[in-house]
Amino acid sequence: MTESERPRGRRRRSRRRRRARLRRALLSALVVGSLLLATAGWIGFRGWQARAHLLNAAGLARELSAQVVSGDTERALRTLSALQEQASAARSATAGPGWRLGRHTPIAGDDLDAVRQIAVAIDELARQAFPALLRTDLTSLVPTEGRLDLARLTAVSTELSQVDDAVQRTRRDLAAVPADRLVQQVRQALTDLRGEIDRLASLTTAADQGARLLPPLLGASGSRRYLLVSQNLAELRATGGMFGAYALIEAENGQVRMGQQGSSASLGRFTPALKVPAEIRRIWTDLPGIYPADVNLTPHFPTAAALYREMFRRKTGTTVDGVLAVDPVVLSYLLKATGPVLVPGGVPLASEKVVQTLLNDTYQRLDLKQQDDFFAASAAAVFDAFFKKNVNSRVLLSAFDRAITERRILFWSARPEEQRTFDSSRMAGALPEQDTVPTVGVFLNDGSGAKLGFYLRPAASLSVGECRSDGRRELRLRVTLRSTAPKSGLSKSVLGLGLAGDPYTVRTLVSVYSPAGGSVLDARLDGTETALGSGTERRRQVATASVDVGPGAERVLEVRALTAKTGAGQAELWLTPTASPWTTQVHSAPSCDQ
Three-class secondary structure assignment of 16-74: HHHHHHHHHHHHHHHHHHHHHHHHHHHHHHHHHHHHHHHHHHHHHHHHHHHHHHHCCHH
Q: Is residue 1 part of a domain?
A: no
Residues 492 and 415 in one domain: no
Q: Is residue 100 part of a domain?
A: yes
Mean pLDDT lowest for which of 88-92, 223-227, 389-393, 449-453?
389-393
pLDDT at residue 29 in the model: 36
Residues 299 and 204 in one domain: no
Residue pair 267/292 in contact (Cβ under 8 Å)? The answer is yes
* Beta carbons within 10 angstroms of residue 380's beta carbon: 16
pLDDT at residue 68 in the model: 66
Residues 443 and 404 in one domain: no
Residues 441 and 548 in one domain: yes
Non-local (6+) Cβ contacts of 221 within 8 A are none
Average pLDDT estimate for 293-299: 98
pLDDT at residue 66 in the model: 67
Give 24's pLDDT tier (boundaries 50, 70, 90). very low
Average pLDDT estimate for 558-572: 94
Q: Is residue 592 part of a domain?
A: no
pLDDT at residue 192 in the model: 73
- Counting residues of the chain whose pLDDT is more than 70, the rounded percentage is 83
Q: What is the pLDDT of residues 149-167, one digit of tens each?
A: 888 777 788 788 888 888 8
Q: Is residue 474 part of a domain?
A: yes
* C-alpha to C-alpha distance for 69 and 83, rounded to whole angstroms: 17
Average pLDDT estimate for 47-61: 67
Query: What's the pTM value of the predicted model, to 2 decimals?
Result: 0.81
CATH label of the domain that carries residue 327: 3.40.630
Residues 383 and 522 in one domain: no
| Residue 510, H or E segment | strand 506-513
Domain closes at, from 174, 194, 217 = 217
Residue pair 50/93 in contact (Cβ under 8 Å)? The answer is yes
* C-alpha to C-alpha distance for 316 and 225, rounded to whole angstroms: 13
pLDDT at residue 109 in the model: 64
Domain closes at, from 179, 199, 217 = 217
Average pLDDT estimate for 257-262: 92
Q: Is residue 531 part of a domain?
A: yes
Residues 372 and 275 in one domain: yes
* C-alpha to C-alpha distance for 24 and 321, rounded to whole angstroms: 83
Average pLDDT estimate for 300-308: 98
Identify the top-confidence range among 93-97, 140-144, 319-323, 532-536.
319-323
Residues 53 and 149 in one domain: yes
Q: Is residue 3 part of a domain?
A: no
Number of domains in the chain: 3
Question: H helices then E strands: how many in the chain?
Answer: 17, 16
pLDDT at residue 117 in the model: 76
Domain closes at, from 156, 191, 217 = 217
CATH label of the domain that carries residue 464: 2.60.40
Mean pLDDT lowest for which of 42-51, 56-65, 331-340?
42-51
pLDDT at residue 182 in the model: 66
Strands 572-575 and 439-446: parallel
* Integer CA distances (angstroms), 18 to 6, 7, 22, 24, 26, in order: 18, 16, 6, 10, 12
What's the CA angle centered on 243, arms 206 and 270, to 5 degrees? 125
Residues 239 and 325 in one domain: yes
16 has a pLDDT exceeding 90: no
Amino acid at 503: P
> 521 in the Ramachandran plot: left (φ > 0), alpha (ψ -120 to 50) or beta?
alpha
**Distance, first Cα to last Cα, the chain:** 69
Residues 459 and 397 in one domain: no
Residue 147 structural domain: 16-217
Residues 244 and 201 in one domain: no
Mean pLDDT for all residues in the chain: 84
Q: What is the pLDDT of residues 342-388, one digit of tens each?
A: 887 767 899 999 999 999 999 999 988 888 888 888 888 888 887 77
Residues 69 and 212 in one domain: yes
Q: Is residue 594 part of a domain?
A: no
Residues 123 and 177 in one domain: yes
461 has a pLDDT exceeding 50: yes
Q: What is the three-class DSSP state of 235?
A: strand
Average pLDDT estimate for 226-232: 95
102 has a pLDDT exceeding 60: no
pLDDT at residue 195 in the model: 76
Q: Is residue 295 part of a domain?
A: yes
